[in-house]
Homo-oligomer: A and B are copies of this chain.
Amino acid sequence: MNYNTLFSEIASEVETTVSPGKIADYIPELCKVNPNKFGVHLTNLNQEHFEFGDANEKFSIQSISKVLALVLAYKMEGENLWNRVGVEPSETPFNSFVQLENNNGIPRNPLINSGALVISDVLISHLKNPKKEFLAFVKSLSNNKSINYSARIAESEKSTSFRNAALINLMKSFGNIKNDVNEVMDFYFYLCSIEMTCKELSETFLFLANYGVNIFTNERVLSTSKAKRVNAIMQLCGFYDEAGDFSFKVGLPGKSGVGGGIVAIYPNNYSIVVWSPELNEKGNSKKGLKFLELFTTETETSIF
């Protein structure tokens, strides 16, 4: 099936029905993006590609990186990882501090900020040159050597990082951060600063639709069971305080970032990425959410 026409039709409908959102404004550098950008790219297991709009323009993938960091940490640490971080959905960012206090500094899951900071800490413990080795891992997943961090974005995040500093220090007080807090935060901001196009990002995540095997290299990234578990975590925890709504309306595991990107996985089928920088009040791309809702409804693709 060729989705290019359908993409164009849904994009039109989204364009006319979705009211404007707000670009992430807490990171100075992210404000500079053109809010009208819109791109979508789908890669399936036959390595067919479908796309629309600004699908080949780089954007900041932000929190979507947390999934990639999780995959590498899970690969290295195995099931011991779950002694350091949970797999349960969280209610609101607002609850984070309470939850960490109630639970001895163990974050509820690896896709909220506190959890991703723990994952970063785990990676630092395992890697000799964390930034370099993590980037090499992402390049291998995407089979694309051009992927890189944006030092500009990473440094811009550091300037407004007090809330993350509060979270990591609280976890450190419970002993759940092993390395220096500034080193962990620096690595974390670099992770979040990776830039990709919709096409590159959908290729990078394709192994999660392929039960853990990188289709481009035939290398196994994760065991089948672990790949499914990563999908399960995305399903329950991938959209901040809207995980339920996304499951309800889109019906696929996925992850969003405040750069306006969303990736979703249809297991055994495809990986799709939408990008539109205007966010709703929960921090998820407004047009991206609507596009995926209409697309999965129209094509009747859902895991449920």
Contacts and interface: CB of A to CB of B under 8 A. Distances in A.
Interface stretch (A11-19, A83-91, A140-148, A190-198): A83-91
A149 to B, nearest CB: 24
Interface in A214-259: 224-225, 227-229, 231-233, 235-237, 241-245, 247-249, 251, 253
A91 B91 contact: yes
Given A101-B94, A162-B172, A303-B303, A297 B225 contact: yes
A302 interface: yes
A247 B98 CA distance: 24
A237 B244 contact: yes
A169 B162 contact: yes
Contact of A228 (B97, B243, B302): B302
A99 interface: yes
Contacts of A162: 169-170, 172-173, 181
Contacts of A225: 297
A131 to B, nearest CB: 23
Nearest to A229: B248
Nearest to A160: B173
Copy number in this complex?
4
A132 interface: no
Given A97-B170, A232-B304, A109 B244 contact: yes
A165 interface: yes
A244 to B, nearest CB: 4
A199 interface: no
A25 interface: no
Interface string A168-197: 011011000000010000000000000000
A299 interface: no
Nearest to A239: B88
B169 A224 contact: no
A91 B95 contact: yes
A166 to B, nearest CB: 4
A166 B167 contact: yes
B253 A233 contact: no
A242 to B, nearest CB: 7
A163 interface: yes
A86 B232 CA distance: 21
A251 B87 CA distance: 13
A48 interface: no
Chain B CB within 10 Å, residue with most, of A89, A90, A172, A237: A89
A67 to B, nearest CB: 14
A255 B303 CA distance: 17
5 contacts: A86-B244, A108-B244, A166-B166, A166-B167, A231-B304
